[in-house]
Chain A
Amino acid sequence: MDASVRAREAEKAVSRMEDAEAVLREYNYDKAKLVPILQAVQARYNWLSKELLSYIACALGLPPARVYGVATFYAHFSLKPKGKNIIRLCDGTACHVKGSTAILDALYEKLNIKPDRDSTDDMMFTVETVSCLGACGLAPVMLVNDDVHGQVKPSDIPKIIDDLLAKQGSKTANEVA
């Protein structure tokens, strides 16, 4: 590996741990605050790496197995990297009946997400299904980052994605694909 790339990677890793350290300090290295600590660290990186979890365990004096247990218990925590944009499609009873499955298919097709994966190759998008967003009146409902889209039809999907990309000044998904 090139020496400068090497140095950059090492620096990035150090800064990740520094961020975790700042969170830990804020919570006074309190074991009882494990969940809020994990939330705060995840908020920064969208996901929790094995290295970060080990680091947090070590700092709190907790067995890594315990921290891993908490992180895998809650669906909120992700142990896999997530894309820049997160799409949460509701698959609760109401949304399911109103055809959320077809919307999921449309999302996969538009974003070109491969089977058994939930993120695009360029890590721009991650698609998740969630149990209920609490907006059954808008079924089928979908969250794109923090924006709510209600009564979505599969044919709406390409526009929603393209609009978002245009807003972010990126290439459209089709161009990426």
Chain B
Amino acid sequence: MTTPEVKTLTVNGVQVEIHGERNLLEVIRKTGIELPTFCYHSELSVYGACRLCLVEVEKRGIMAACSTPPENGMVIRTDTKQLREIRKINIELLLANHNRECPSCVRSSSCTLQTLARRLGVDTIRYKQRQELEPIDKSSPSLERDPNKCVLCGDCVRVCTEVQGIGAIGFSFRGSKAKVAPAFDKNLAEVECVNCGQCAAVCPTGAIIPHQNREDVWNAIHDPSKIVVAQVAPAVRFALAEFFNQEAGQNAAGKLVAALKKMGFDYVYDTTFTADMTIWEEAEEFLRRVKAGGPFPMFTSCCPGWVKYAEINFPSLAQNLSSCRSPQQMFGATMKEALPDMLGKKREDIVVVSIMPCTAKKYEAGLDKFKVDGNPDVDFVLTTTEIGRMIDSFGIKFNELEQEAFDMPFGFGTGAGVIFGTSGGVMEAALRYAVGKIEGKVPMHGLEFHAVRGSQRFKETSIKAGDAELKIAVVNTLGAAKELAQQAADGKSPYHFIEVMACPGGCVCGGGQPILNDRIKRSRRMEAVYKCDKNMQFKNSLENHMLKDCYEKYLGGQPNSEKAHHLLHTKYENLNGIFDAVEVVEAGKSSRKIAVSVCVTPGKDEKKSAEMLSQILDYADQKGLADKLVVETAFAPSCTKRQAGEVLVGGRFFDGTDLDAVKQGIEEAVAK
């Protein structure tokens, strides 16, 4: 007997108690019935578009379980003849509109449409296949969009808008013409996408996938003149086993090393090594700021999704971002510095392959600033699922492999490096180093900072280090980061140090990891990170003695040395304004043109921007540069913080107060 206060309802004749579930779907799933869905994610808003979770509610009719709140006494059936037929028709219709190249699709076997068609017994499709195909968007170095495989569930749109606070893609048009696309049907690379790949992580089909670099890497492996070096990011090892149908939360590092060796990688190193290096550089930078009294807050810069987000939305925070490159880029730069010397090879013959949980790392590795004479520090980036597929295609039985150890010396890392893979990890690693150093107690065993751990989107704490009281914040997801960034941009941030990771839970749940859509798996992966840390003999990056050797031989002896600064630090771009309303004033004829945009704020200081515009045009005419420029006005609404007369020259920002600086900028950009 149930007590009178407990509300109940009946699912397929079984009485079920309601305990605060938000919708029927949750109640029904509690009973062990896995109702099919495309568009339902517990962490996103309810959308009710896919019409697969339909149930029959007595006296009310057929309703979508995801968007119906549970009520006392409801009598629900989940599987009547009519419901089966409706669901089947829905799947059939989706399949008729779907480019069914399943065997060659990256998502084959992890595709929800495929799974549901099988589960619901769709043996034939009675509708004619849609013939005309939309072009595939391959513009982004990180992600590929194939609209012909989209089921319009809107998961990607909602994750981008609700979780990341960006909205780079949205629904456009309607009815049979409805589609998911960036604004004005532009390519993904041309809009404010930061490449985090969470859209690909929630996509139930192959409509958005990580850009694939598998063939590039095979080619390098099969080229005898190349030395192929792998670096494995911390987070990869905690999710790869899932690709091979193992439980979530295992550490597959040893097996991955063994597999990579079998496949023909010459050296297999660990990005944990340069995670420790990042801490040496970043914690020293932080200590320097503490001594100098700012600028605060300092933001971490390991996450390329966050860095691009900040470059687009908060260019004024450039000096708040740590100047440290990410561990991936530090690794690439160090390898291309050290290996030619160690192995007697040319830089071009060393191929650095990153294995990352992340799609944004592909974008990062391709940036010009991380190339030397056109040769990138990191040649190719593979996501966890790509390396899984490569291992599969080689015929390796991953689960049966004997574990092997990373190669030395660049395969040695501490627990501090390992925890980089999860939200709070970079902060904790930096604190272990900085607090240890301030208090002069290194190594400090058991120096753990539990306040920064866990999957909550926002965590804060304050830490006493010597005389200083340090206010710390850790956020994951860009939606959460936006608030802290805005606060900092307004000069009102109470924090000294802020860690940002773009993906929910941090890198372990990155856009390149095996598909996961449940919180349990996420927390398993996070737990596995800390379990691994517990098992490491060294837990403080300061104790990485291999790193010390590396600094002595290749990096100028110590952190922040001139050489270390040259190889391991970077500068940030101002990408703001590239999406503003822009009208071309004058376009030159050359095939390669530099965009010069002058900010115009209607109704505000119009003279100033008109002056700037005519000065630039006159200057271009005088110097004969007109053909090499596209001069445009970028309109900024008066409610934004953009100032009239600001200028962007090929992405470089000038505040418009110094005309000579703008002229020089134009000349430099043209000369490049």
**Nearest A-chain residue to B609, judged by Cβ:** A14
Please indicate the chain A residues that have their CB under 8 angstroms from the CB of B167 in the complex: 62-63, 65-66
Task: State how many angstroms separate the Cβ of B620 from the closest Cβ of chain A.
Answer: 12
Determine whether the beta carbon of A17 is less than 8 Å from that of B600: yes
Shortest CB distance A17–B (Å):
4
Give B170's nearest chain A residue, CB to CB.
A65
| B600 partner residues in chain A, CB cutoff 8 A | 14, 17
Q: Which residues A45-101 have CB closer than 8 A to chain B?
A: 50-55, 57-59, 62-69, 72-73
B50 on the interface (CB 8 Å rule)?
no
Q: For the complex, would chain A's binding face be called helix, strand, loop or mixed by DSSP majority?
A: helix
CA distance A29 to B169 in the complex (A): 22
Docked-complex contact B639 and A68, CB < 8 angstroms? no
Q: In whole angstroms, what is the CA distance A13 to B580 when docked? A: 14
Cβ-based interface call for A9 (8 A): yes
Out of B184, B617, B635, name the residue touching A17 (CB < 8 Å). B635
Is A117 an interface position by the 8 A CB rule?
Answer: no
Asked if A38 is at the interface (CB within 8 A of a chain B CB), the reply is no
Q: Is A118 at the interface (CB under 8 A from chain B)?
A: no
Q: Which residue of chain B has the shortest Cβ distance to A67 in the bound complex?
A: B183
User: Which of B161, B168, B639 sits near A59, CB closer than 8 Å?
Assistant: B639
- Enumerate chain A residues within 8 angstroms of B582, measured Cβ to Cβ: 51, 54
B581/A65 in contact, CB under 8 A: no
**In the complex, residue of chain A having the shortest beta-carbon distance to the beta carbon of B161:** A63
- Which residues of chain B are within 8 angstroms of A53 by Cβ–Cβ distance? 183-184, 581
Interface 1/0 per residue, B148-184 and A, CB below 8 Å: 0000000000000100001111111110000001111
Q: Is the CB of A73 within 8 A of B174?
A: yes
A21 touches B172 (CB 8 A): no
Flag if A65 contacts B169 (CB, 8 Å): yes
Decide: A72 and B174 in contact? CB cutoff 8 A: yes
B651 within 8 A of partner (CB): no
Name the A residues within 8 Å of B230 (CB-CB). Answer: none
Chain A residue, CB-CB nearest to B640: A58
Residue in B183, B580, B610 whose beta carbon sits within 8 Å of that of A65 in the complex = B183
Chain B 239-277 interface residues, beta-carbon cutoff 8 Å to A = none
In the complex with contacts A58-B636, A72-B174, A64-B603 CB distance below 8 A: no
Known A-B contacts A10-B610, A51-B635, A58-B581; the reply to A64 vs B183 at CB < 8 A is: yes
Tell me which of B161, B192, B635, B640 has the highest count of chain A C-beta atoms within 10 A of its own C-beta: B635
Chain A residues with CB below 8 A from B636, complex form: 58
Interface of B is mostly: mixed
B603 with A18: CB separation less than 8 A = yes
Measured CA separation A14–B586 after assembly (Å)? 15
Complex contacts, A68 vs chain B, CB 8 Å: 170, 172, 183-184
Using Cβ atoms and an 8 Å threshold, which residues of chain B touch A67? 183
A55 touches B579 (CB 8 A): no
From residue B153, how far is it (CB to closest CB) to chain A in Å? 16
A32 within 8 A of B: no
* Contacting residues, chain A, for B583 (C-beta < 8 A): 10, 13, 51
**Contact partners of A52 in chain B: CB under 8 A:** 581
Give the distance to chain A from B316, nearest Cβ to Cβ, in Å. 17
Smallest beta-carbon distance A119→chain B, Å? 20
Is the Cβ of A59 less than 8 Å from the Cβ of B174? no
Residue of A18, A20, A21, A62 with highest tally of chain B CB at under 10 A = A21
Report if A24 contacts B (CB, 8 A): yes
CA distance A21 to B600 in the complex (A): 12
Q: Indicate whether A166 reaches chain B with its CB closer than 8 angstroms.
A: no
Count CB-based A-B contacts (< 8 Å): 103
CB–CB B170/A66 < 8 A = yes
A176: interface (CB < 8 Å): no
Interface size on B (CB < 8 Å)?
Answer: 37
Known: A51-B635, A68-B183, A69-B171. A63 touches B166 (CB 8 A): yes
A-chain residues with CB within 8 Å of residue B191 when the two chains form the complex: 64-65
Given A10-B613, A18-B603, A21-B603, decide whether A63 and B184 contact each other with a Cβ distance below 8 A.
no
A6 at the interface (CB under 8 A from B): yes
Q: How far is the CB of B478 from chain A (nearest CB, A)?
A: 13
> For residue A63, which residue of chain B has the nearest CB?
B167
Contacts of B581 in A (CB 8 A): 17, 50-55, 58
* A151 to B582 CA separation, bound complex (whole angstroms): 46
Structural contact, B585 and A64, CB atoms closer than 8 A: no
- A77–chain B nearest beta-carbon distance, Å: 11
Q: Indicate if the CB atoms of B639 and A29 lie closer than 8 Å.
A: yes
Is B617 a contact partner of A6 (Cβ separation < 8 A)? yes
Cβ of A17: which chain B residues have Cβ within 8 Å of it?
581, 600, 602, 635
Residues on A with beta carbons closer than 8 Å to the beta carbon of B602: 14, 17-18, 20-21
B454 at the interface (CB under 8 A from A): no
**B582 and chain A: residue at smallest CB distance:** A51
- Per the bound structure, the CA–CA distance linking A17 and B184 in Å amounts to 19
Q: Given the known inter-chain contacts A1-B586, A72-B173, please indicate yes or no for A58 contacting B617, CB distance below 8 A.
A: no
Contact partners of B635 in chain A: CB under 8 A:
13-14, 17, 51, 55
Q: For chain B, residues 48 to 75, give those with C-beta under 8 angstroms from any C-beta of chain A.
A: none
Residue numbers in B under 8 Å from A58 (CB-CB): 579-581, 636-637, 640
Assess whether B638 is interfacial by the CB under 8 Å rule: yes
Distance in Å from the Cβ of A129 to the closest Cβ of chain B? 16
Assembled-state Cα–Cα distance A29/B639 (Å): 8
B423 contacts the other chain (CB 8 A)? no
Nearest-neighbour CB distance to chain B for A42, whole angstroms, equals 16
A65 touches B168 (CB 8 A): yes
What are the residues of chain B within 8 A of A13 when measuring CB–CB? Answer: 583, 633, 635
B549 at the interface (CB under 8 A from A): no
Pairwise interchain contact A54-B579, C-beta atoms closer than 8 A: yes
User: Does B85 sit at the interface, judged by CB under 8 A?
Assistant: no
Q: Collect the chain B residues with CB atoms within 8 Å of residue A69's CB.
A: 170-172
Task: Please state if A73 and B169 are interface contacts (CB–CB under 8 Å).
Answer: no
**Interchain CB contact under 8 A, B192 and A63:** yes
Complex formed: what's the CA distance from A14 to B633 in Å? 9
Chain B residue contacts of A3, Cβ below 8 A: 617
Assess whether B341 is interfacial by the CB under 8 Å rule. Answer: no
Bound Cα distance from A67 to B184, whole angstroms = 10
Contact partners of B610 in chain A: CB under 8 A:
10
Identity of the chain B residue whose Cβ is nearest the Cβ of A54 in the assembled complex: B581
Chain B residues within an 8 Å CB radius of A64: 183-184, 191-192, 579
Expressed in whole angstroms, the Cα–Cα distance for A24 and B639 within the complex equals 10
Q: Which residues of B contact A55 (CB under 8 A)?
A: 580-581, 635, 637
Q: Does B617 lie within 8 Å of A65, measured CB to CB?
A: no
Q: Closest B-chain residue to A29, C-beta based?
A: B639
**Cross-chain contact A63 with B170 (CB below 8 angstroms):** yes
Q: What chain A residues lie within 8 Å of B181 (beta carbons)?
A: 65
Contact code string B605-649 (vs A, CB < 8 Å = 1, else 0): 010001001000100000000000000010111111000000000
Name, among A9, A17, A53, A73, the residue most crowded by chain B CB atoms within 10 Å (CB to CB).
A17
- Residues from chain A with a CB closer than 8 A to the CB of B580 are 54-55, 58
Residues of A within 8 A of B (CB): 1, 3, 6, 9-10, 13-14, 17-18, 20-21, 24, 29, 50-55, 57-59, 62-69, 72-73
Q: Given A51-B581, A51-B582, 19 more contacts at CB 8 Å?
A: A9-B585, A10-B585, A13-B583, A14-B635, A20-B602, A21-B637, A51-B583, A53-B183, A53-B184, A54-B579, A57-B183, A63-B161, A63-B170, A65-B167, A65-B183, A65-B191, A69-B171, A73-B171, A73-B173
- Taking Cβ atoms with an 8 Å cutoff, the residues of B that contact A are 161, 166-174, 181-184, 191-192, 579-583, 585-586, 600, 602-603, 606, 610, 613, 617, 633, 635-640
Closest 4 pairs between A and B when the two form their complex, measured CB to CB: A63-B167, A65-B170, A59-B637, A64-B183
| 6 A–B contacts from the bound complex (CB under 8 Å) | A6-B585, A13-B635, A24-B639, A54-B183, A59-B639, A69-B172
